[in-house]
Amino acid sequence: MKILGIETSCDETAAAVIEDGRHIVSNVVATQVEMHARYGGIVPEIASRQHMRTLIPVVESALEDAGMELPQLDGVAVTHGPGLAGALLVGVNTAKGLALSHDLPFIGVNHLEGHVYAAWLEDGLDPETRPGFPLMCLITSGGHTDLILMEGHGHYTLIGRTRDDAAGEAFDKAARVLGLGFPGGPEIQRVAERAAGTEPALPRPRVRSSLDFSFSGLKTATMRRAELKGMYPPPEDAELDPADVAEVALAFQEAIVDSMVRRTLEAVAKHRVNGILLGGGVAANSHLRAEMARRSPVEVIVPRPALCTDNGAMIGAAAYFTLRNGDAYSWDLDVIPSLRLG
Ligand SMILES: Nc1ncnc2c1ncn2[C@@H]1O[C@H](COP(=O)(O)OP(=O)(O)OP(=O)(O)O)[C@@H](O)[C@H]1O
Ligand SMILES: [Mg+2]
Sheet holding 23-31, edge to edge: 23-31, 12-19, 2-7, 75-81, 106-110
3-state secondary structure of 151: strand
Q: Which residues pair with 149 in a beta bridge?
A: 136, 157
Q: Which atom of ligand 1 is nearest to the CA of 308?
A: 18
pLDDT bracket for residue 159 (50, 70, 90): very high
Question: What is the pTM assigned to this prediction?
Answer: 0.97
Answer yes or no: is pLDDT of 90 > 90.
Answer: yes
19-42 pLDDT, tens per residue?
Answer: 999 999 999 999 998 888 888 888
Answer yes or no: is pLDDT of 124 > 90.
Answer: no
Select from 297, 328, 260, 310 the least CA-distant residue to 104.
Answer: 328
Q: Average pLDDT, stretch 321-341?
A: 91
Which stretches does DSSP call E strand in the chain? 2-7, 12-19, 23-31, 75-81, 106-110, 135-140, 145-152, 155-161, 275-279, 299-301
**Lining residues, ligand 1, CB within 6 Å:** 9-10, 82-83, 111, 141-144, 168, 171-172, 183-186, 189, 280-282, 284-285, 309-310
Query: What's the confidence (pLDDT) of residue 66?
Result: 98
How many Å lie between the centroid of ligand 2 and the Cα of residue 235? 35
Query: What's the confidence (pLDDT) of residue 326?
Result: 82
For CA atoms 113, 116, 121, 125, the dihedral sign is: negative
| Closest residue by CA, ligand 1 atom 13 | 142
How many Å lie between the centroid of ligand 2 and the Cα of residue 244? 31
pLDDT bracket for residue 69 (50, 70, 90): very high
286-325 pLDDT, tens per residue?
Answer: 999 999 999 999 999 999 999 999 999 999 999 999 999 8
Beta-strand relationship, 145-152 and 155-161: antiparallel
Answer yes or no: is pLDDT of 327 > 80.
Answer: no
3-state secondary structure of 106: strand
Residue 151 CA, chain-centre distance (Å), reads 21
**Domains of the chain, each with CATH number or no CATH:** 2-118+306-324 (3.30.420.40), 132-302 (3.30.420.40)
Q: Among 171, 189, 286, say which to mutate for ligand 1: greatest number of ligand atoms within 8 Å of CB.
A: 171
| Closest residue by CA, ligand 1 atom 5 | 185
How many Å lie between the centroid of ligand 2 and the Cα of residue 1? 25
Cβ 115 vs Cβ 280: under 8 Å? yes
Answer yes or no: is pLDDT of 328 > 80.
Answer: no
Q: What are the φ/ψ torsions at residue 30 (nearest 5 degrees)?
A: -110, 110
